[in-house]
Amino acid sequence: MKRSLTLNSGAEMPIIGLGTYKLGLIEASQAVSYAIDAGYRHFDCAWFYGNEYNVGYAIREKIKQGVVKREDIFVTTKLWNNYHDKDRVIPMLKESVRNIKVGYVDLFLMHWPFGFKEIEPLWPLDEGEEAYSDVDYLETWEGMEEGVSMGLAKSIGVSNFNEEQLERLLENCKIKPAVNQIEVNPNMNQKKLIQFCKERDVMVTGYCPLGRKEYAGSPGFPDPTILDPKVIEIGKKYNKTAAQVILNYLVSLGISVIPKSVNKERIIENFDIFDFELSEEDVAYLDSCNKNQRVCTMDEFKTHKYYSF
Ligand SMILES: NC(=O)c1ccc[n+]([C@@H]2O[C@H](COP(=O)([O-])OP(=O)(O)OC[C@H]3O[C@@H](n4cnc5c(N)ncnc54)[C@H](OP(=O)(O)O)[C@@H]3O)[C@@H](O)[C@H]2O)c1
């Protein structure tokens, strides 16, 4: 099984990355430190997560200790929705680069295709459509392209873009997006969008690969496959856990995945997925779990003209 994907920018993106959403500040440094020791070289950050500094701190410590070199590490971060104005992109990218403090970021993503006005809250739930910015993501992209020429980001990409938005961007860009980061888990296997991206040489990173199991049981929330007794049974055949079965299955779709964990054992477990191959029958079961049910719907913003789902 391959350990990295080659992006259209020429960069190598390791297939397993550590998700960092909802990691507290101390937790983030600890988790990254455990992850580097376990072999992870890919870290998925975002300005919105508020812990970029702590992720970067742990990376710098490991570089100082001689465990890794900067060039071994692949750090992603993302532009938040309130900063889609073209002239806000570089200042925000500079802020992320200053936070992470490892010189440059390997991948800079537009977090969502839709924007909010800069003066609005970061998650303008009760503000209605007044809070929306109508800046076109093509303009935002022009700002991101400058980030590459300034050496702040090695590659740029998008997140949560649908086929139509991605096609429009591809037709109107100077630098092609290297990645589309989207939700992928067995409930939402995204085979069609993954194929669409592959045909256009855009790599996919799958977020919420474990179905964000902390919300299991909440009304309307899809039951995470990690809790499916059949998947747990499948794992026993290979001496693996349900999480490992799921991550192995997702990687076999030709994507990278970014499971989040705060726990050292689970961080190690989520990286230990390369030494087995699921049978056709087991893959067929995981395929059959697809329900096109999202964990991350963002349906609070579904009236935005650039809403993508
Ligand atoms: N681009 C976007 O819009 C977007 C949206 C959502 C997420 N993301 C990125 O994707 C990353 C992953 O998504 P996510 O954090 O939402 O959810 P996730 O990785 O699907 O699931 C995380 C949950 O699974 C648990 N877990 C992790 N490993 C486990 C294991 N081996 N066995 C059992 N439980 C396990 C974690 O608990 P413990 O921590 O206690 O282990 C946590 O509750 C995020 O952190 C973020 O970096 C991006």
State pLDDT tens for residues 154-169.
Answer: 999 999 999 999 999 9
How does the average pLDDT of the chain come out, rounded?
97
Q: What is the pLDDT of residue 214?
A: 82
Query: Which pLDDT value is given to residue 219?
Result: 84
* Residues 6+ away with beta carbon under 8 Å from 75: 42, 43, 45, 55, 56, 59, 100, 102, 105, 106, 107
Q: pLDDT grade, residue 222 (50/70/90)?
A: confident
| C-alpha span between 63 and 258 (Å, rounded) | 22
Note whether residue 307 is domain-resident.
Answer: no
pLDDT of residue 52 exceeding 90: yes
Query: Longest C-alpha distance within the chain, in Å?
Result: 54
* Residues whose CB falls within 8 Å of the CB of residue 242, separated by 6 or more in sequence, listed in order: 225, 226, 227, 228, 231, 232, 234, 235
Please indicate, yes or no, if residue 158 is contained in any of the structural domains.
yes
Question: Greater confidence, 222 or 167?
Answer: 167
Q: What's the Rg (C-alpha) of the chain?
A: 19
Report residues whose beta carbon is within 6 angstroms of any ligand 1 atom. Answer: 19-21, 44, 111, 159-160, 181, 207-214, 226, 241, 243, 258-263, 266, 269-270, 296
Instruction: Give per-residue pLDDT as tens, 184-212.
Output: 999 999 999 999 999 999 999 999 999 98
pLDDT number for residue 15: 98
* Sequence-ordered list of residues with C-beta below 8 angstroms from that of 263, at least 6 positions apart, any chain: none
Task: Give the number of other CB atoms < 10 A from CB of residue 63.
Answer: 16
Q: What is the mean pLDDT of residues 178-189?
A: 98
Q: Is residue 49 annotated as part of the catalytic site, yes or no?
A: yes
User: How many domains, in total, are found in the chain?
Assistant: 1
Q: Which of 207, 246, 309 to mutate to test the pocket of ligand 1 (most atoms within 8 A of CB)?
A: 207
- Please report whether residue 306 resides in a domain: no
Tens of pLDDT, residue by residue over 285-302, are 999 999 999 999 999 999
Catalytic residue among 49, 57, 207, 306: 49
Which of 76-90, 98-112, 134-148, 207-221 is predicted least confidently?
207-221
Domain assignment present for residue 293? The answer is yes
Q: Which residues does 163 contact at the CB level (< 8 Å), separation at least 6?
A: 193, 196
Which residues span the domain enclosing 295? 4-301
Q: Report CA(280)–ligand 1 centroid distance (Å).
A: 27
Sign of CA dihedral 134, 139, 145, 151: negative
CATH of the domain at 64: 3.20.20.100
d(CA 11, CA 123): 33
Q: Are 18 and 73 in contact, with CB atoms under 8 Å apart?
A: no
Whether residue 126 is predicted with pLDDT greater than 90 in this model: the reply is: no
Closest residue (by CA) to atom 31 of ligand 1? 266
Main-chain dihedrals φ then ψ at residue 136, nearest 5 degrees: -75, 135
Q: Distance between CA atoms of 4 and 12, rounded to whole angstroms?
A: 6
Asked if the structure places residue 116 within a domain, the reply is: yes
For the CA of 244, the closest atom of ligand 1 is 31
User: Which pairs with CB-CB distance under 8 Å and at least 24 residues apart come from 294-297?
Assistant: 294/183, 294/188, 294/222, 295/183, 295/185, 295/187, 295/188, 295/208, 295/211, 295/212, 295/215, 295/221, 295/222, 296/183, 296/207, 296/208, 296/212
CA distance 77 to 156: 10
Q: Please check whether residue 308 lies inside any domain of the structure.
A: no
pLDDT of residue 46: 98
In a domain, 285, yes or no: yes
Q: Which of 261, 269, 301 to mutate to test the pocket of ligand 1 (most atoms within 8 A of CB)?
A: 261
pLDDT band for position 77 (cuts 50, 70, 90):
very high
